[in-house]
Structure 1
């Protein structure tokens, strides 16, 4: 049997690709099992220019650690070879994706362009231009419909001061800026032209310019005065997308969008209404990216939609709120400064988690399910014939569709969330954190209240108007019967109500006026704690314990992005698109770790 070829601490596997002076191998770290891509470069084939490009690539990648930039681990040099150890992306590149899917939906295009913008923003901050942006150099973390996109292949990249101009003729003809074709000096705006060409190809299925040969292609790029969309594309593509294409593909770099304008363009950042839920963008002017609520109030409060269960009164003074049977517990009053401080804390936690646990930035192809197979088998299959929208939007759309298509499945999903949250509340209570336990219990109550509403709608739709008053014989009732389901959900609601009432009594015995913590913040921090504990258990090779903790973390994070925004809370809970993206990114990494245990 042939022994595996070793490069440093890595075992080389199958060849992924090759070029004129390099071969790329799939490899695995011998101790950690980390899968990587190793670029093997023959020194004898390196011209001075290629060697210079290689050194630039190493120099640039070694200073960047960002989810939308291919990760560089190390360089290993032998007598006649240089090996670059890079992050492995199992999804291939965007060119392959376009070949398979053709033109994509606006939502999918937005998903990729947002991630490209985030990567370009990092390069811009480092005064670096890529100079060869094209679909072949945009790598994908997995073969999912909306994978993580990463900018790769920095061989042509060059670091610039903001005022300097490059003169080197480089780049790919289909995506090359006119100023490069004209052999003029150019700056970072050349990358923006390439980004526009990529966006155009995503939404139309073909590049913005073509030609029978390079000469004709160059002439079309330089001479055409107006960007032409094929067929009826203008009737199908959102005006914001059309505007971004035209604003990026302006031949005069001075008239082209600036990077700041690109990052803040309406197509990438405008809040959208989806199923009655408003999604708010991050406050980019302040650099905020954290868990946040819809800014309808200066206070954070949670309630069930049943007013006699949880009532609140807004007040600028230290007034109390009526919570459960007229018992008084005042809600926390959060001023703007405190809110900002909390947001920074969440951001730090997210960044810490990403640094600690992103071992391979790609979810396993078979590990996209969040929950047990037994539950997933009952869920309606998504329509895979059409491109899905961006990850966060797809999750919300799918879960909300369950209420209409299959109420029993949605009830089971709510049950899983409620059980996970109840466990959090119990852990908080056992640790003496009564306030946190009470806050989370109110969210559990809201979840069961929503389940009651689903049952009511379901019974009306099938013509039933009475509830079975008998107690279900088992803990797993037949949820295919709306009558049985309503009885079971009612019992669960009463149990949650009683638990909340008990917690409220304990709070009253502790203090006449108690500041209420942020329930969503508590749930989020608990998810992070589960993830960290799972990582520690995995390190100790306690695989069963690690898998259980990872599952808990995934379930809580999924609740935040899928269900919390739909619950009857006051004020309504919302996430910025950046928050959703980062939480989804964390979920995918947890899924990957769990699938490899």
Structure 2
């Protein structure tokens, strides 16, 4: 048997276009690993070297329990580009999902839910890093442990891990790709047709996998990409009505919408009711939310004009806008977009710089330690809100993103009014630029009202809490602690005295209740991980 450094290759377990994968063992410790052996070819050298470097960089940057861990990389000769490369990765003895589906013929809704929950957790991590996988398929979802066919009707023993990032790439916010790559039977229609595509192409692939898990076959079978393109003109047939859980079918239909603009967003996928279902994770989610799951609605106000913009109407303004305007009127004014711009929304307020914020200097000597702490707390909340706003923008929810950008500006304005620091001034300027950029790209033909930031923030907090609950159930306490921290920070922003967003008394009570429940979970996970 061949040796690779400290490892011994045992037997081949996988073959791909560019590499073979071997089950291997550390010669001293006996640790079982998987080693991906890549022999560069002269005619494809540049492409292979790029893919190797890309896969290594991505896997090294991801530390997630539902992503295969890269342990190390070995090269026969680091100075020779043509030398064989070896990626040493954690070993998953259960094989891949394609093999598991083949053994079971088809999977129950409970097993499919468990697998989709864990896949969604992995994709959330990719979303956080602005990554698109581009080759999602059952062969690239590995089962950590062996599970006998039919022995686990709810999938409670299944742990899946995403692998093969050779075709993954980083997308900038709102970025589009155009390279046709991946396994064509799982390719989104926009990829097959050589159109530009974004991260939503991954969601189509998820839908194909979900369909295959439930029915035992893919929604479209074809012998070539050209044949598949012709068949994609047909409607998806949901065979075997009896095997479809209603929520599962609803999710699958949303994922398999051929028009990417009509396809559900990542946030809708992550929070879909099928993934909450009746699984153990849902029980924890229910306990977290208790009876506090309410939507913080704000009744839209009638047509009115923005102070300082005499003729431009704003439809469906909400109290959030008024609240922010009251607090940042001296820092920037709200105006409608110039009529000369074709891409700007005529009814949405756009932040525009006015005189700079006051006290542009280091913290005043009169600022107490308490004031500095209050100011820093608001800055931290604003930073997290900015991340949520960027995720909304990536999901093409531009109005929600703008609403959150305004909440960020309101939070930073309040922080500046308490204690001014150079970091706050820098953050305010960056947030103002970001809000202007979002507003400048709104569809000016739309009359939609600006969504309520309070509701968006509350739902984002619940989503983070649910993600933490899933991770906790799967004993991923470190990751659960991170998600719970996000949820508690967002909820704290809604209920803190210094928040620029004011809730009704009933809403405050519900937010307090949820904040307390998630904080308790956060502390327990943090203590357990230590």
Distance 1:10 1:168, change over 3 A: same
| Equivalent in the alignment of 1:250 | 257
Question: Which residue of structure 2 aligns with residue 234 of structure 1?
Answer: 241
Shift of residue 173 of structure 1? Answer: 1.6
Deviation at 1:254, TM superposition (A): 0.8
Equivalent residue number for residue 113 of structure 1: 116
Residue of 57, 64, 86 corresponding to 1:59? 57
Q: Show CA shifts across 1:354-401 (max 9, x none).
A: xxxxxxxxxxxxxxxxxxxxxxxxxxxxxxxxxxxxxxxxxxxxxxxx
Q: Taking structure 1 as reference, are residues 102 and 335 closer, same or farther at Cα in structure 2, changes over 3 Å only?
A: closer
Say which of 122, 146, 156 aligns to 2:167. Answer: 156
Partner of 1:265: 272
- Residue matched to 1:87: 90
**Residue 145 of structure 2: SS of its match in structure 1?**
coil
Distance 2:117 2:17 in 1: 33
The alpha-carbon deviation at position 9 of structure 1 amounts to 2.5
| Preserved contact between residue 141 and residue 150 of structure 1 (Cα < 8 Å) | yes
- Give yes or no for the alignment of 1:133 onto 2:173: no
Secondary structure of the corresponding residue to residue 62 of structure 1: helix
Instruction: Give, in angstroms, the shift of residue 273 of structure 1.
Output: 10
- In structure 2, which of residues 10, 13, 38 is the aligned counterpart of residue 13 of structure 1? 10
Q: Deviations over 1:240-263 (max 9, x none)?
A: 111111100011111111100000
Paired position in structure 2 for 1:176: 187
Structure 1 position 210, deviation (Å): 1.6
Residues in 2 aligned to 1:191 and 1:61: alpha-carbon distance in whole angstroms? 18
Q: 1:208 aligns with which of 200, 219, 224?
A: 219
CA 1:43–1:212 in 2, change beyond 3 Å: closer, same or farther?
A: closer
1:188 paired to 2:195? no
Displacement, 1:10?
Answer: 2.0
What is the 5 A alignment of 1:272-351?
Answer: 280=286, 285-286=461-462, 287-288=464-465, 289=468, 340-351=518-529
Contact 2:97/2:143, CA 8 A, preserved across alignment:
yes
- Could you tell me how far apart the structure 2 residues matched to 1:7 and 1:129 are? 31
Question: Size of the alignment, in residue pairs?
Answer: 302
Cα RMSD (Å): 2.6
Q: Distance in 2 between matches of 1:149 and 1:273?
A: 17
Would you say the 8 A contact 2:211–2:252 is kept in 1?
yes
2:288/2:518 contact within 8 Å kept: no
Q: Distance in 1 between matches of 2:39 and 2:17?
A: 10
Residues 281 and 86 from structure 1, CA distance in 2 versus in 1: closer, same or farther, beyond 3 angstroms?
farther
Give the Cα–Cα distance (whole angstroms) in 2 for the partners of residues 171 and 247 of structure 1. 22
Q: SS of the residue aligned with 2:173?
A: coil
Instruction: Find the aligned partners of 1:177 and 1:87 in 2 and give their Cα distance.
Output: 30
Higher RCO (C-alpha 8 Å, min separation 6): 1
Return the offset for 1:20.
4.6
Give how far 1:270 is off.
Answer: 3.9
The structural deviation recorded for 1:7 is 2.2
Deviation string for 1:198-219 (max 9, x for gaps)?
0001111110112354422221
Distance 1:81 1:272 in 2: 45
Structure 1 residue 72: deviation in Å? 0.6
Deviation at 1:220, TM superposition (A): 1.1
8 A Cα contact 2:22 2:34, kept in partner = yes
Equivalences for 1:424-503 in 2 at 5 Å?
none
Partner of 1:280, secondary structure, is: helix
Distance 1:113 1:204 in 2: 15
Which residue is equivalent to 1:28?
25
Check conservation: 1:38, 1:85, Cα contact below 8 A: yes
- Matching residue of 2:69: 71
Gap change, CA 1:40 and 1:259, over 3 Å in 2: same
Structure 1 pair 36/349, CA: closer, same or farther in 2 (3 Å)? farther
TM-score (norm 2): 0.53
Instruction: Answer with 1 or 2: which has the greater Rg.
Output: 1
Judge conservation of contact 1:11–1:27 (CA < 8 Å) in 2. Answer: yes
Aligned to 1:490: none
| Partner of residue 47 from structure 1, selected from 45, 48, 51 | 45
Q: Deviations over 1:158-208 (max 9, x none)?
A: 111121100101121211100001111100000000000100011111101
> C-alpha distance in 1, partners of 2:126/2:513?
36
Q: Distance in 2 between matches of 1:252 and 1:53?
A: 29
C-alpha separation between the residues in 1 aligned to 2:518 and 2:12? 49
Give the TM-score normalised by structure 1: 0.47
1:47 is paired with a residue of what secondary structure? helix
In structure 2, the residue corresponding to 1:207 is in which secondary structure?
coil
SS at match of 2:35: strand
**1:138 CA displacement:** 1.0
State the shift of 1:30 in Å.
Answer: 3.3
- Counterpart CA distance in 2 for 1:160 and 1:339 is 36
Tell me the SS of whatever aligns to 2:99.
helix
Shift of 1:43: 2.8
2:99 to 91, 96, 108: 96
By how many angstroms is 1:103 displaced? 1.2
CA distance, structure 1, for counterparts of residue 132 and residue 514 of structure 2: 38
Q: Closer, same or farther in 2 for the Cα pair 1:202/1:340, shift >3 Å?
A: closer
Which sections of structure 1, spanning at least 5 residues, go unmatched?
293-333, 353-597
